[in-house]
Amino acid sequence: MNITGNTILITGGGSGIGRGLAEAFHALGNQVIISGRRKQALDETTKKNAGMKSLTLDIEDPANIRAFVDEVAAQYPALNVLINNAGIMRFENLQKQQDDLADAESIVATNLLGPIRLTADLLPLLRKQPYSAIMNVSSGLAFVPMAPTPTYCATKAAVHSYTQSLRYQLRESTTEVLELIPPYVATDLLNGAADPRAMPLAKFIEQVMDILKNQPKAVEICVENVKALRFAAESGHYDVVFRGLNEAMANVSH
């Protein structure tokens, strides 16, 4: 992936991994536009990064996505990189679910349908550029699920599969398709920022940018901390990794 000279849209860019990526790409001189539901978080981020732009987006709402894409195309016609990062994670007790499955449906709408819709609507603009890239953010939990967050893990597994298909369909185009596979990172997702077991956000972003810089042909961006999950099946250690991950979560209240 080219890491300079881009106009980049990052969903969920007001906090966590999205903000970290936004600031890293911004520091390299790219034009960065962040989006998300929380205008306050977006404003705080752009205020600290002069020249960074923001647009609000409700990634769960198909009509809002279409209007958002029209606004992006009008204001940033040179947009050539989309980073689908926005996501939510919630504990779910599958033995005591409510009838309306509101949490599960919201997770699916945000983590899976949102990126699919946004990619579909932005792809014509991206394809107009001499070079473009789509980076979908999945998770190590796409490969080894954490049982207390079943729908989150399922959506990330689906993002991985969707990304593979998208990459293959665009293989003869000028649009690169990448997958960023984070480990457990210290963000506000499930209060990970306070968990000493989580990888520090700054360290994660530093390693991601190093991979993008030094391995420009990489299509899966995996820092060392996530490789045990990403390659659990290939290594023959899936059962051990699955059991270890979920035994570690056994005492978590949900």
Q: Which amino acid is at 180?
A: L
CA atoms of 136 and 141, how far apart (whole Å): 14
Residue with tokens 């966590």: 16
Residue 253, domain member (yes or no): no
Q: What is the domain extent for residue 230?
A: 7-248
Closest C-alpha among 5, 9, 3 to residue 32: 9
Q: Which amino acid is at 225?
A: N
Secondary-structure percent of the chain, ordered helix, strand, coil, rounded to 5: 50, 15, 35
What are the tens digits of pLDDT across the range 60-108?
999 999 999 999 999 999 999 999 999 999 999 999 877 789 999 999 9
pLDDT in the model for residue 97: 77
pLDDT in the model for residue 66: 98
54: CB partners within 8 A, 6+ apart: 13, 14, 33, 34, 35, 36, 39, 42, 43, 45, 46
38: CB partners within 8 A, 6+ apart: 14, 15
pLDDT in the model for residue 254: 40
Per-residue confidence band for 253, with pLDDT thresholds at 50, 70 and 90: very low
- Count structural domains, the chain: 1
CA atoms of 234 and 131, how far apart (whole Å): 33
φ and ψ at 60, to 5 degrees? -80, -15
Domain with residue 52: its CATH number is 3.40.50.720
Task: Tell me the two tokens of residue 135.
Answer: 């980076």
Residue 47, domain member (yes or no): yes
**Taking a C-beta distance cutoff of 8 angstroms, is the pair 177, 134 a contact?**
yes
Residue 241, domain member (yes or no): yes
Task: Tell me the two tokens of residue 9.
Answer: 């849209």
Predicted confidence (pLDDT) at residue 251 exceeds the cutoff of 90: no
In angstroms, the Cα distances linking 76 to 59, 72, 125, 175, 215 are 19, 5, 10, 18, 28
What are the tens digits of pLDDT across the range 15-41?
999 999 999 999 999 999 999 999 999
Q: H/E element holding 135? A: strand 132-137
Q: Which amino acid is at 78?
A: A
Task: Tell me the two tokens of residue 240.
Answer: 């051990």
pLDDT in the model for residue 166: 98
Residue 193, domain member (yes or no): yes
What are the tens digits of pLDDT across the range 172-229?
999 999 999 999 999 988 766 678 889 999 999 999 999 999 999 999 999 999 999 9
Q: Is 207 exposed, middle or buried (0-12, 13-18, 19+ CB in 10 A)?
A: middle
**Taking a C-beta distance cutoff of 8 angstroms, is the pair 180, 221 a contact?**
yes
**Residues assigned a catalytic role:** 152
CA atoms of 99 and 97, how far apart (whole Å): 6
Q: Which amino acid is at 59?
A: I
Residue with tokens 């940018």: 209
CA atoms of 207 and 213, how far apart (whole Å): 10
Give this prediction's pTM.
0.96
Residue 242, domain member (yes or no): yes
Residue 254, domain member (yes or no): no
Residue 117, domain member (yes or no): yes
pLDDT in the model for residue 141: 98
Task: Tell me the two tokens of residue 76.
Answer: 């940033």
- What does the mean pLDDT of the chain come to? 95
Strands 132-137 vs 31-36: parallel, antiparallel or unpaired: unpaired
Residue 2, domain member (yes or no): no
